[in-house]
Copies of this chain bind each other. A is one copy, B any other.
Amino acid sequence: MYPQSPLMGQMMNQPLLVSSILDFAARHYANSEIVSQRVEGDLHRYTFRDCQQRAKRLANALHGLGVRMGDRVATLAWNGYRHMEAYYGVSGSGAVLHTLNPRLHPDQLAYICNHAEDQYLLFDFCFLPLVEAFAPLCKGIKGFILFGAADRMPAETKIPNLLCYEDLINSHSPEYEWPLFDENSACTLCYTSGTTGNPKGALYSHRSTVLHAYGSAMPNALNVSSRDTVMPVVPMFHVNAWGLPYSVPLSGAKMVFPGPALDGKSVYELMEKEQVTFSAGVPTVWLGLINHALQNKLKFSSFRRTVIGGSACPPAMMSTLIDEFDVEVIHAWGMTEMSPLGTAGGLLTKHLDMSKEEQRKILQKQGHAIYGVDMKIADDDGKELPWDGVSYGHLLVKGPWIISRYFKGEGGDVLENGWFPTGDVATIDPDGFMQITDRSKDVIKSGGEWIGTIDLENVAMSHPAVMQAACIGVAHPKWDERPLLVVVLRPGQDLKREDLLAHFQGKVAKWWLPDDVVFADALPVGGTGKIQKNKLREQYRDYRLPTA
């Protein structure tokens, strides 16, 4: 592909394969633990070495079932040790792990399974009704493997070829040599969240996964060390839990899986019990935890750091975590198409002397590219824009853990001169800090100028009565589009349109002020907890602004 030098290096030729990550943990941090809150209700605890042994049994079992290199094997499961075994047992053997989001509609699940051509499906037994609902629509799936022991198997079921995971792997040996193969072979298949349209598949390679694991473990990114206890709250079906199933064993850290118990109380108690130091999740999951801790006047005894991403972290949330709980917040940005990590926030040395408010402004940016990722911003004509912290434009990225096309070529040639267009709009400042101002599809075009909706939503959410806010563009006869703010109030709170608009005074440019406010009971939310603005736009398509 690329020209060779007349003089080649003389280093060991070893492919970057994810199996080497689990082997590393099992060998070099053999006593590091994986603790899982199980669907069964209890807490399960074993070592990376145990995980490796069972992943190898699974690899043998899959081979016995006829799964071969490149075949897709799907999972439908919460974060837990069996899911972890599937991560390695499937990909390590050369097959392709395809993680499914149980929050999707059965029709969507069937669409994705058929699109992926999954051969087998491994699933948590709590999802049996869901699997029963879409299994008949997936004729290609040869077998369904229930994550559990024989006593969890249903007496009768409509599912054809239902297998018991524990029986299956226990009937196979842990003796298994991970095959060595080309590192560009497919490793995992993830579909995008479907926030802006139909989900599209990203097909990661072993190489991209290992490089992403290196990049994301580094001090400027997630900063995972062997002294950490890491709880991925972000689901393993959401872009591989941001790579933590790879970056944690590679770091020898202890891993704590919350299973299905994601409410504030359960997460808090598990964190304290297992002395979690580091976690990761989308903004919405932190709401519950923060509320639980505030209401019960609880503090964290070990929790020191969390990564928040997937959508913009509201400044109010960041402040609560830092000021009330002394938890450092790393604001990260990424996307399914990027494995997913692209940037991570943090201060530079020169910021350490700044006031808390000034520091907070820096921490709210999505931060620096992780080495491996390059980024730029460009205008509608593709002209690169300056890194002045003010100019905003389409954000484009490139790097070895970014897709070059979607699975099955969906959407055609997506790259622009080798760069992947993220669909996000951003600024980059002279120190290299990137800040997302909006998605291209959500940006409001008012009289030829752009209004970023994230800023407006953050201001609204900084009002104590507001729980959630979404800003959308609504048709306007003079300006084409003007902002409409849709707000969900906290339980028991009351707030007048005028008072909320007054709260914006001095916080945004005058012409950015929303033209109207609508109070709603809830916002439409997708399978990964993101607000579906396309649905919201549909809903308010004929809304008549008072200014119109």
Using CB atoms and an 8 Å cutoff, list the residues of chain A in contact with chain B.
1-16, 21, 23-24, 27-31, 68-70, 94, 96, 180-187, 202-208, 211, 214-215, 217-220, 223-227, 229, 250-252, 254, 346-349, 352, 368-369, 371, 374, 398-407, 418, 420, 430-432
Contacts and interface: CB of A to CB of B under 8 A. Distances in A.
Contact of A184 (B8, B21, B31): B8
A44 to B, nearest CB: 20
A30 B369 CA distance: 13
Interface centre among A207, A214, A223, A420 (most CB of B within 10 A): A214
A206 B2 contact: no
Given A219-B219, A220-B251, A398-B12, A30 B432 contact: yes
Closest 3 CB pairs of A and B: A9-B205, A5-B185, A7-B70
Interface centre among A21, A31, A430 (most CB of B within 10 A): A31
Nearest to A346: B226
Given A5-B94, A6-B69, A432 B28 contact: yes
B214 A220 contact: no
27 contacts: A2-B180, A3-B182, A5-B70, A5-B185, A7-B96, A9-B187, A9-B204, A10-B203, A10-B403, A11-B207, A11-B400, A12-B402, A14-B400, A16-B400, A21-B371, A27-B432, A28-B432, A29-B431, A214-B371, A217-B218, A220-B251, A223-B225, A226-B348, A227-B346, A227-B347, A227-B348, A252-B368
Given A5-B94, A11-B204, 19 more contacts: A2-B182, A2-B183, A4-B184, A6-B69, A7-B96, A7-B203, A8-B184, A9-B204, A10-B202, A10-B403, A12-B398, A12-B399, A12-B418, A21-B371, A27-B374, A31-B430, A214-B214, A218-B251, A226-B349
A28 B27 CA distance: 36
Given A14-B400, A24-B371, A69 B5 contact: yes
Copies in the complex: 2
Given A182-B2, A225-B223, A203 B349 contact: no
Given A218-B214, A219-B219, A398-B14, A9 B185 contact: yes
A6 B70 contact: yes
B349 A186 contact: no
A185 B7 contact: yes
Contacts of A11: 184, 203-205, 207-208, 400-404
A29 B70 contact: no
A96 to B, nearest CB: 6
A14 to B, nearest CB: 5
Interface centre among A202, A250, A371 (most CB of B within 10 A): A371
B369 A24 contact: yes
Contacts of A28: 368-369, 432
Given A4-B181, A6-B70, A203-B9, A349 B404 contact: no
A514 to B, nearest CB: 35
A346 B361 CA distance: 34
Contacts of A251: 218-220, 371
A208 B9 contact: yes
A13 B349 contact: no
A2 B406 CA distance: 25
A348 B398 CA distance: 36
Contacts of A220: 225-226, 251-252
B223 A186 contact: no
Given A182-B3, A226-B346, A430-B31, A403 B218 contact: no
A205 B5 CA distance: 10
A208 B218 CA distance: 18
A206 B9 contact: yes
B225 A8 contact: no
A463 to B, nearest CB: 34
Contacts of A27: 374, 432
Contacts of A431: 29-31
Nearest to A369: B28
Nearest to A17: B2
B401 A5 contact: no
B218 A12 contact: no
Nearest to A32: B348
Contact of A182 (B4, B29, B252, B348): B4
B186 A7 contact: yes
Contacts of A418: 12
Given A27-B432, A219-B217, A186 B369 contact: no
Nearest to A404: B12
A137 B3 CA distance: 34
B10 A405 contact: yes
Contacts of A204: 9, 11
